[in-house]
Each structure stands twice: as C-alpha cells, then as structure tokens.
Amino acid sequence: MKYLLVEDNLELAQAICSRMGLDGHTIDHAAKISEAMDFAQAGEYDLILLDIMLPDGDGRSFLKQHRAAKNDTPVIVLTARSQVSDRISMLDLGADDYVTKPFDHAELQARCRAVLRRKTGSAQTMMRVGNVEFDPVGGHLTVSGNVINLRNRELRLLELLMNAKGQVFSKQKLVDRLFSYDDDVSDNAIEVYIGRLRKHLEGSSVQIKTLRGLGYRLDHD
Amino acid sequence: MTEDVLVSGSLRNRLAMILTGGAAVLAIVIFVVVRGYAAQIAQEGQDNILSASVSSILDAAVLRDGMVELDFPYASLSMLSTAADDRVFYAIYEDGVLLSGYAGLDMPQPGQTDEKTFASLQYDGATVRVATGTRILIGADVPRQVSVSVAQTQDALSETLNRISRNVAVFGAGFFALSTALSFWATSTTIGQLSRLTNSVTRRGPQDLSPFRKPVPSEMVPLVGSLNSLMSRLDQSLKQSEDFIAEAAHRMRTPLATVRSNAEATFQRVENPENRNSLRSMMRAIDECSRAAGQLLDHAMVTFRAENLDRETVDLEEMLRELVLRMTPVAELRDVALHLEGGVPALLTGDPVLLQNAFRNLIDNALKYAPPDTTIVIRVHNDPTLAVDVLDRGPGFPPDEIDLLAGRFVRGSDTKGRIGSGLGLTIAQDVVLAHGGALVLSNRSEGGACATLQF
Amino acid sequence: MRYFAVLILALLPVIGQAQVWEDRKVFGAATAPRNLQILSSTDTSFFAPIIESFIAQRADLSVEYLVTGTAELDDVFRQNPDRFDVVISSAMDLQLKLANDGLAQRLDGLSHPEWAQWRSSLFAFTTEPAAIVINNAAFAGLPVPATRQDLIEVLRANADIFEGKVGTYDVRQSGLGYLFATQDARASETFWRLMEVIGSLDAQLYCCSGDMIDDLARGRILVAYNVLGSYARARAETADMLTVILPSDFPTTMMRTALVSKATSEPALAEAFVGHLIDLQSAGAAEDFPLPSLGAFQDTTGRSSISLEPALMTYLDRLKRQTFIREWESAIIQGP
C-alpha cells in the first residue's frame, strides 16, 4: 500500500519509513504542511499519517484544507498529546483515527487496516498471485472463486509473504512480525498459522514452501 | 480537619456575653439613674409643698401691739396631708426664740431671708424633711425676725419611691430580657453569616477552587477576599502543575516515539538473542513510560474537568459502540474480541469526554489481562440503576486487594509483565464519582474480572 | 419616825389618786391577771355594753374605764402615757396631735377605711354631729330654728326670754368645745355673729355636753349650742321636752377616735379592743353600740365629718389658740 507520512521530526520519520518498508509498504515523507498538500494532490495515497505539531502550522489546518479539497484519502493522526478533547476535535475535523506517540507498529498497522476497511471496504491494491486474489484490507482470500475470511494473524502472515514473493522468512522473523515483543510465543505457533494458510491455499497455484533450517517462502506456479 | 484547629473561645459566646453583660449594666444604670431622678423629683415635690406651707405661715405673721401674731390658715398644714398620713411638725421662732410649735426642730439660720432652706434630719425617731423660711417684720421699734420650720416625715415619699423602684426594676428587667433576646438573635444572625460561608465552602467538591461569589456582609469581605485569593492561587498552582504534566508528557512522547520506532525496526533485523533481549526490555520501558505519561495526563484532565462538569445528555450505548469500534484493532492484535451488549435505554446526563475516558481505561485494563481468543463483554444494563459492566476472562482481581485497587497508583500484585501505571481504575473511579456514581469491582463466578460503573 | 412612815404609806394612794375623775369604773374581776386601762372622754353609760361584750370572751381580763374631759384627758395622757392602754376622745384635734407626736401605737392588723383613720394609729368609730338642742316649751309659739342664722334671729328677737338661758361650751376648758368652735369659725362668719348674740345674752358656759343637757332638762337653760347630738338624743328619747336640731346650713360632725398608747403594756389586748370597737360600730345593734356608727351621718353627698388630717393641729398652735380664745372671749364675755 502507499502511505504519506507528514512528520517534522526526521528521525522519527526515518524510523517509521524503515519499519513500514519492512512490511513491504511504499511510503512518502513530507516534513511540512505545504509539502504534504503538494504530495497529497500529486499522488494517489491509500492513507495519510499526519503529525499534529508541524513547523508551518497545526496538523488540524492541513486536515481542514485536505477535506476542503474533497480529498477523501483516510487520515490517521499521530499525536503526542493524549487529551481526549484534542482527539475529539481532530476526529471532528475529519481525521479517521489517531495513534498516540509512541506507538506499536503493529497497532498502527491494525488501525490503518481498520480505517481502510471502514472507509473503502476493500483496498484498491488487491493482490493477485496466480489464481489467488487477496484483499489485505477486507481480510479475505479468493481461491478459484471461493471466498475465505482470514483471521487477523493469518491475514498479516499472508500479507507479509505475498508482499515479498520468493523471499525466505525465518521463523524468528515471522514471530517478530506477527506477535508483540511482549507476547510469550512458542516456536510452533508460526507452524500453526502456516498450516492454516496452506489449508486455505489448497488447490491454488500458490504454495508456502518450508525451507528446512531457513524458514518459509511463498511460491507460485 | 477541624480537630487540627486551635480553638480560642467562642465568638458567639463572647458576643452574647458582651451584649448580655452590656444589657445588664445598662439595665442597672437605667435603674439607678431613673430611681435617683425620681427620688430627686419626689423630694422636690415634697420640698415645694413644705416651702409653700412655710410661706403661708410666714405670710400670716403680723405685729400687733408689738407682739408677733401668727393666725396662719388651716391650709398651711392641710396641704401637707398625704396618702400615707405623714406626721407633721412645725416650729415658729421669733428672733431665735421658740414662739410656738415643736421644740428642737430646726434652728433658723440668721440673716437668710426670702430663701428657704431644706434639710433632712432625725426628729422624734423618724427621718423628716424640714423647710425653713424667715421673714423680717418691721414694727414701730426694732425689726423682728420670724422664722418658720415645717417638717414632714417621708412615708409617702418612700412609698412613692418604692413604687417607682418596683416599676423601674420591672422595666429594667424587661429591658434586660428584651436585650438578651435581641443579643441572642443578633449573635445568631451574625454567626449565621459565618456558618453560611462555612457551609458553602464545605459543600464544595474537593476540586472546586472557584471563588466564593455569593454576597456577604461587608465585614466578611476581607475574609472572603483572602479566601478567594488563596483559592485562586491554589487553583493556579494546580493548573500550572497540570499544564506541567501535560507539557512534560508531550515533550517526552516524540523522542520516545523515535526511539521506539527505531528499536522496533532494529528488533526486526537483529538476530543475536542478547541484542534482541536488550531491545525488548528497551521497548517495554518505553511503553511503560508512555503509558504512564498518558495516564498521568488523563488523570490530570479528569481532575480538572471534574470541577466543572459539562452536562449534556449522553447515550452510553452509542458512546460505547464507537469506543468498541476504535479499540477493536488493538483487541484484534491480541486475538481478543470486544462485544457490546445493550438494548436498554441508556441516557445519562454527564461529561462525554470524561465518560469516554473512564470506559476506555476500563476496557484497556480488561485488554491487558484478557487471554487470547476470548471475548471482553461490555454490558449496558439499567437494573436497578444504569450501569456498565466490563467483563473479561482474565485472572480476576486478587480478592484481598479488591477494595484498594481503585486507589491512585495501586496495581494488583499479579501484574508482573504487564504494562500499566495503575491509574486506570483511579481515573474511572474519579469520573464516576464526579457523576454521583460508584465503581464496583468484583470477580465473576465463572472466572474473570467484572468492573462496573454504576450511575 | 414609824408613824411618819405609816402616814406616808397611808397618803401614797391618795397622792396616786390625786387625779379627780368624772367617772371611774372597773369591769370584770378586780383580781383578773390582765388589766386594760381605758382613758376616755365618753360617758361610761355609752361604753359599758361595749366593754362588757369585750370582756365576755376574756375571763382573765378586767378593764378600768376612766372618764375625764377632753382637754384634761390630753394633759393626763401626755404626763403618763404608760399608765393607759387605750385613749378614747371626741377631741379629734388633740387625738391627732397625740398620734402625730408619736404617742400612739401603729395598729397594722386592723382594716379600716382610709378616711376614718390616720397613720393606722388613730381610729374613728363614730360620727357625731354638733347640734342645737332646744327646750320645746320655751319655743312654743316661736319658729324652730333650722340654721345658725335662724337661731341668731330667734335669740335676738326674744332676748327677754333667752337672757341667761343660752348654754354653750367653754372652749377654754373643753377640747371638744374648742374643736367645734374652731371648725365652725373655719366654716362661716355666722359663728362669730352667733357668739356675739349668745355673749350678749349672758351665755352659760359648760365643760361638758352632759352638764349642758342636764341643765336643759332641768330648765336652767333653754337653748344649747354645739352640744353633742348623741348625748342629747339619749335624753330626748326619754324626755319629750327637748328637740335636737342639726343645723342645715353647715354640719359640724365630729368622729370619736381611739388610739393605743405607744407605751402600753398590753399592745395585743389594746389592739383587740380597738378592733372590737370598729367591728361593733359597723355591725353592732343599738344596744351593743349605743353611739352613732361611722355611717350614721354620712349623707349621700359624701363625707361631711371633720377630716382626720394634720391641719387639725392648726388651732392647737399656741399663737392661734391665743388669738382664737381672745376673740372668743371678746365675743362671749361681754360682762358689764
């Protein structure tokens, strides 16, 4: 998916971009409102991540202009404040959700997906591999015309593998992506989710291969 | 609080004492003065009559053939009749020699003419008032000095005085009684103003530091002024510290976000278990820190808003539905479902911002403890009163700490490994108390915790 | 020496009895342990029933009743106030002066109308008007005088009949006579005209009402002026020859008064006697109380008696008395 990050703190922006990149998302960065307006008008973004405190104005004024321009790209606000009244006024101005800094990347992703699902129903970026159609926003998988609803971790696992076809993911890496650093996860937890996905993908042209000692890889015929 | 105050007497007692004492002194003064005045007037009355009697006797004095003749009228003594039948004495002297009447009464003072003298003296065992007058009769030869003393006992006078004294005493006692009653009334009215101020200050909510605005008597203006200024300083310092907390939290968040994002990104790349563990504890510390900052801020905000509650009609179910929607992504990350049960009218007058915050904290709390693949039920019901239960399938509250949990910064003993500042329940409780309700914590018989906000 | 002593002892009672009483009577047993001395100017006959009813309830009591003239009575009492327990007199002025001079005991236990008592020590118990008493036979064919002026005219017009036949008090001797005369003189100049007329008729002067009425009854005088009506009435009831006239121009009404000596040795008994007197006068029947009660001559216009007030002492003043007597003498004694 394609994101626009509006954030004046370059270090934070870099960290976010690099983390998003790991999940295979495209992300553009704007450090000012004026820049952000240009980006938003030029490119088609699935979602805008907006910081509130910006050098050339309040994120709220961007929100206002953004909505005034009839641009309906969803906006998730990144705020350092946590006052409820702040959040409410931002929602009133047209933000779709907010994430309080510092945030868990998984939570940000979950919120993005929820916003997109709510806003558009399904992503414009439907993934197609062979005879498999995957909608990461709506969370369903279509295999030879059969629609399968995926659970949260199945969905995230599939999205990860599909975004990097042919790339080998170690078990460790997959655990890191699917679970919080805090979760107590056993090694075979991943095998359970891989097993479920394989079952969903049965009869399709897509397979998840096990590379002994290395990890997993998504292949297709 | 009052037991710490040193008591130095009672204003009411002191005031009542001064007023009553003053009334008593005044009553006594009135008694003495009026009685003295009445005695003087009564004495003047008696003196006037005695004087008239003396005059009428003197007027009758004539010289006939060189002899003093005194054919004084019947009225001279008749005028001295009194209700108490006072005894009457008189003496007539010619040049100091007793001519007629009672001996030893009052010796005339030579040389004083046209001037009556009065004296009180003892005569025949009784106190008498004596008036003496003198007249010079010019005859053919030498002038003769005729002096007349008329005396009267003072029975009628003392009867009159006794009567006056009784009346004045009754009047004085009445005055005293009335003054006492008035002083008690005045005292309680005056003290009443203080009590009213006290009540009004006492009835305030713990965070109400707004100035006292009701009109007060001018004497109490300095007190109320100082009170108001004290409260405004207090309020200001409170707001300053709130602002400080908010600012501090805000300043911390952005760098923390940077660190955390970097740590997370690094965590994804690093393979070395040692490094991974370091990054893990780093992220845990950051999360704990940011959560604490958030809750401190929330708490400051709740405290601030609880003073002046926004009052509007809130549909709890609608509010909870939106809240559930917003919290679902987070819940899904943990494979926990949020389920809202409602269907009853759930209208409440209150502050929506505070209420939302309270519910978010309760659900947050439940999310922390709920095991994966379970459901957190948020149930709105109104039996017997409107209430919202947040039910999870976690370990439940430790039974022996259940009453303490809502206290500030108290966390359950089995929270190891879970991030939280311990303010969540406190915030929820502060909010519900500000709305006149209560937070009830209990454990479900089928396992799990139940936190109820009752309104 | 012994004889001398015996002589003195024998003479002592005589000296003690030096006082000559008009009358003296002891009621009750002479040996009674308690004794009440009553000094009075009133004839014994009037007081006998009163005293008898008093001692009837008191077996241990005897009462000595001593009668003398009003002026004499005053002297006697003033000299020996401790000898007498109760003093009764018709001379209101002298009685009042006794009380004023502190010789009377206050009797606070008695209740009596304010006007009929003074200082709770002098109690009036009769009203007795001064009257003109005439011999009916002498006035046959003559107008019966109703006023003093009538009397003056009758006497003037019939000087031949009344020459030496008019009696009145010798005010120099009689306290009551002096009281009547001074009160008359206060009231009207008619008194002096009357005195001059009487004086011109060679008036007979008396010490006491009793004597005057005796002479009237005997025909020695035909008219008596300012005689006590009560005495006269007592005779008139038995003898039709006398008429008692109360002058209608102005009445001179005396109240007989009683007081208890301050020096009495029987204060309770004396007070009881005075109480008995004032009770009897209001409630007693004629045979129990032969004197006119306080209410007897109180007409509807109000009290017309001489008031009990200190002013009564006015004419007792030495100078006033001197002047009055001189004028009286010059009017009444017109000797050749």
pLDDT in tens, B354-375: 888 889 888 988 888 888 888 9
pLDDT number for residue C117: 92
pTM comes to 0.59
B76 in C contact zone (CB under 8 Å)? yes
Number of helices (H) and strands (E) in chain B: give both, helices first: 8, 14
Q: How many CA atoms lie within 13 A of B154 on its CB side?
A: 22
Three-state DSSP state, A75? strand
Q: Do chains B and C touch (3 or more CB pairs under 8 A)?
A: yes
In chain A, which residues have their Cβ closer than 8 Å to the Cβ of B287? 102, 104
Q: Are C292 and C230 in contact (CB under 8 A)?
A: yes
**CB of A200 within 8 Å of any CB in chain B?**
no
pLDDT higher than 50, residue C104: yes
Helix (H, G, I), strand (E, B) or coil at B263: helix
DSSP string, B298-336: HHHHHHHHHHT---EEEEHHHHHHHHHHHHHHHHHHTT-
Buried b (16+ CB within 10 A) or exposed e, C196-206: ebbbbbbbbbb
C-alpha–C-alpha distance, residues B83 and B94, integer Å:
33
Instruction: Enter the tokens of residue B204.
Output: 């305030």
Least confident stretch, A42-46, C34-38, C161-165:
A42-46
Q: What is the mean pLDDT of residues A193-205?
A: 86
Burial of C239 (0-12, 13-18, 19+ CB in 10 A): exposed
* Mean pLDDT taken over chain A: 81
What is the Cα–Cα distance from C13 to C9, expressed in whole angstroms?
8
Q: Are B392 and B366 in contact (CB under 8 A)?
A: yes
Alpha-carbon distance of C53 to C279, in angstroms, equals 12
SS3 for A10-40 is HHHHHHHHHHHHHCCCEEEEECCHHHHHHHH
String of DSSP letters for B61-121: EEEETTEEEE---THHHHTT--TT---EEEEEEETTEEEEE-TTS-PPPTT--S--EEEEE
Chain B residues close to C98, C-beta within 8 Å: none
Quick check: C303 contacting B, CB < 8 Å? no
The domain made up of C2-127+255-305 has a fold known as D-Maltodextrin-Binding Protein; domain 2 (3.40.190)
Range picked from A123-127, A134-138, C159-163, C226-230 for highest mean pLDDT: C159-163
Residue B38, CA distances (Å) to A68, B26, B369 in order: 100, 18, 97
- The answer to whether B377 touches B389, Cβ cutoff 8 Å, is yes
- The verdict on A12 touching B (C-beta cutoff 8 Å) is yes
Residues of B in contact with A152 (CB under 8 A): 332-333, 335
> Which of C71, A177, C15 lies closest to B333 in space, CA to CA?
A177
Do the beta carbons of residue C210 and residue C106 sit within 8 Å?
no
C319 touches B: beta carbon within 8 Å: yes
Q: Which residue of B has its CA nearest to C313?
A: B77
Report pLDDT for B113: 61
> Would you give the distance in Å from CA B405 to the centre of its chain?
38
Q: Quick one: pLDDT at residue A24?
A: 76
Of A141-155, B293-307, C5-19, C61-75, the poorest mean pLDDT is in: C5-19
**Mean pLDDT on B198-208:** 73
Q: What CATH fold (topology level) applies to the domain B15-162?
A: Beta-Lactamase (3.30.450)
Residue B112: predicted pLDDT: 57
Q: Does the pLDDT of residue B72 top 80, yes or no?
A: yes
Q: State the pLDDT at residue B249.
A: 66
State how far the Cα of A163 lies from the Cα of A30, in Å rounded to an integer: 24
Cα distance between residue C42 and residue C62, in whole Å: 19
**Neighbour subunits, C (≥3 Cβ pairs < 8 A):** B
A31 contacts on B by Cβ (under 8 Å): none
Architecture of domain B311-455 in this structure: 2-Layer Sandwich (3.30)
Which residues from B are below 8 Å from A167, CB to CB? none
Report CB contact under 8 Å: B72, C317: yes
Judge whether B324 and B340 are in contact, CB under 8 Å.
Answer: yes
Dist. CA B403–CA B397, nearest whole Å: 10
pLDDT at residue B80, as a whole number: 93
Is B18 in CB contact (< 8 Å) with chain A? no
Distance CA C1, CA C276 (A): 51
Q: Give the pLDDT of residue B75.
A: 92
Domain with CATH 1.10.10.10 in chain A: 127-220
- pLDDT tens readout for residues A112-160: 888 887 776 655 667 788 888 888 777 788 888 888 888 878 888 888 8
Query: What share of chain A in percent tops pLDDT 90?
Result: 0
**The CATH number of domain C128-253+317-332 is 1.10.10.10:** no
Interchain proximity C102–B101, CB inside 8 Å: no
pLDDT interval class at B18 (50, 70, 90):
confident
Task: Check if B93 contacts C (Cβ < 8 Å).
Answer: no
Rg (CA), chain B: 51
A/B interface, count of CB pairs below 8 Å: 112
Residue carrying structure tokens 């006998």: C48
Helix, strand, coil distribution of chain B in percent, nearest 5 = 55, 20, 30
Would C2-127+255-305 and C128-253+317-332 be classified into the same CATH topology? yes
Mutation target for B interface from A5, A76, A83, A109: give the one with most B CBs within 10 A. Answer: A83
Whether residue B70 and residue C317 make contact (CB cut-off 8 A), yes or no, is: yes
Q: Is A186 in the B-facing interface, judged by CB distances under 8 Å?
A: no
Which residue, among C122, C179, C320, would best test binding to B if mutated, counting the most B CBs under 10 Å from its CB? C320
Q: B282 at the A interface (CB within 8 A)?
A: no
Cβ-in-10-Å burial (0-12, 13-18, 19+) of B331 comes to buried
Domain assignments of chain C as residue spans, ordered by start: 2-127+255-305, 128-253+317-332
Residues C143/C156, Cβ–Cβ less than 8 Å: no
User: SS3 of B60, please?
Assistant: coil
Query: How far is the alpha carbon of B284 from chain A, nearest alpha carbon, in Å?
Result: 8
Touch criterion met for A and C (3+ Cβ pairs within 8 Å): no
Every domain range in chain A assigned CATH 3.40.50.2300: 2-120
Angle (CA) C205 C207 C212, round 5°:
65
B6 SS3 class: coil
Which residue among B257, B280, B329 places its CB closest to the CB of A107?
A: B329
Q: Which of A47, A82, A193 is the best residue to mutate to test the B interface, defined by the most B CB atoms within 10 Å of its own CB?
A: A82
| Residue B409 banded pLDDT, cuts 50, 70, 90 | very low
What is the distance in angstroms between the Cα of B63 and the nearest Cα belonging to chain C?
12
Check: CATH 3.40.50.2300 for A2-120? yes
Residue given tokens 């946590």 in the structure block: A82
Rounded-to-integer distance, Cα A204 and Cα A132, Å? 7
- Residues C304-328 have pLDDT tens digits of 678 899 999 999 999 899 989 999 9
Instruction: Please give the torsion angle defined by the CA atoms of residues C31, C34, C35 and C36, in that order, rounded to the nearest 10 degrees.
Output: -150
Query: What are the angstrom distances between the C-alpha of C321 and each of B72, B100, B188, C41, C186?
Result: 11, 10, 76, 21, 13
Out of B70, B73, B81, the one facing C310 most closely (by C-beta) is B81
- Cβ distance A172 to B271 less than 8 Å, yes or no, reads yes
With 50 as the cut, is the pLDDT of residue C15 above it? no
Q: Which residues of B fall within a CB distance of 8 Å from A83?
A: 246, 297-298, 301
Question: At B152, is the pLDDT very low, low, confident or very high (cuts 50, 70, 90)?
Answer: very high
Q: What tokens does C181 get? A: 């005369």
Neighbouring C-alpha atoms within 13 Å toward the C-beta of A54? 26
Contact B73 C314 (CB under 8 A): yes
- Distance from the B442 Cα atom to the nearest Cα atom in chain A, whole angstroms: 27
Q: Is residue B429 over pLDDT 80?
A: yes
Provide CATH code, domain A127-220. Answer: 1.10.10.10
Nearest to B141 by CA among B83, B67, B74, B79: B67
C-alpha C285/C-alpha B92 separation (Å) is 48
Whole-number average pLDDT of chain C: 87
**Which residues, 6 or more positions from A146, have their beta carbon under 8 angstroms from its beta carbon?**
none
Strand duo B67-70 + B61-64: pairing: antiparallel
Residues of C in contact with B81 (CB under 8 A): 307, 309-311
Does A12 contact B328 at a Cβ distance shorter than 8 Å?
Answer: no
Helix (H) / strand (E) element for C130: namely: strand C128-135
Q: Ranked by mean pLDDT, which of B33-37, C119-123, C225-229 comes out on top?
A: C119-123
Highest mean pLDDT among B206-215, B421-430, C82-91, C132-141: C82-91
Residue C193: per-residue pLDDT? 94
B-A interface (Cβ pairs under 8 Å ≥ 3): yes
Rounded CA-CA distance C129/C228 in Å is: 6
Q: Is B206 left (phi over 0), alpha (psi -120 to 50) or beta?
A: alpha
pLDDT digits (tens, 9 = 90+) for B222-269: 888 888 888 888 888 877 776 776 667 667 777 888 888 888 888 877
Rg of the Cα trace of chain C? 21
Query: Which residues in C lie closer than 8 A to residue B72 (C-beta atoms)?
Result: 314, 317, 320
Q: Residue C296: how many CA atoms within 13 Å on its side-chain side?
A: 24
Average pLDDT over residues C276-284: 87
What does the block give as tokens for C68?
């003398």
Given a cut of 90, whether residue C194 has pLDDT beyond it is: yes
- Tokens 């430790």, residue located: B398
Residue C6 confidence (pLDDT): 47
Alpha carbon of B146 to those of B58, B65, B100, B111, B136: distances in Å?
A: 7, 16, 11, 11, 6
**From the list A15, A152, A172, which residue is nearest B265 (CB)?**
A15
Judged by a CB distance cut-off of 8 A, whether residue A105 touches chain B is yes
For residue B432, the tally of other CB atoms under 10 A from its CB is 25
Helix (H) or strand (E) holding C184: helix C175-187
Chain B residue closest to C116 (CA)? B85
Least confident of B74-78, B140-144, C7-11: C7-11
Classify the phi-psi angles of B94: left when phi > 0, otherwise alpha if psi is within -120 to 50, otherwise beta: beta
Sheet holding B117-123, edge to edge: B97-101, B88-94, B144-153, B126-137, B117-123
**Confidence at residue B3, expressed as pLDDT on a 0 to 100 scale:** 55
What is the domain partition of chain B in residue ranges? 15-162, 204-308, 311-455
Flag if B89 and C100 touch (Cβ within 8 Å): yes
Residue C99 above 90 pLDDT? Answer: yes
Residue B325 in contact with residue B289, Cβ under 8 Å? no
Nearest CB among A110, A176, A181 relative to B332 is that of A110
Q: In one letter, which amino acid is C156? A: R
Q: Which amino acid is at A10?
A: L
pLDDT interval class at C1 (50, 70, 90): very low
DSSP letter at C88 equals E
**Of A150, A135, A109, A130, nearest in space to A19 by CA:** A109
Which range among B13-22, B250-259, B425-434 shows the weakest confidence by mean pLDDT? B250-259
Q: Which two tokens stand for residue B343?
A: 């269907």
What is the distance in angstroms between the Cα of A146 and the nearest Cα belonging to chain B? 24
Cβ of residue B72 closer than 8 Å to a chain C Cβ: yes
Could you say which of B71, B86, B88 has the minimum Cβ distance to residue C323?
Answer: B71
Task: At C290, give phi and psi (nearest 5°).
Answer: -70, -10
Least CB–CB distance from B254: residue in A101, A151, A177: A101
Confidence (pLDDT) at B407 = 57
The residues, any chain, with a CB within 8 Å of residue C263's CB and separated by 6 or more, are C81, C82, C103
Average pLDDT, chain B: 83
Whole-number pLDDT of residue C98: 95
B65–C contact, CB cutoff 8 A:
no
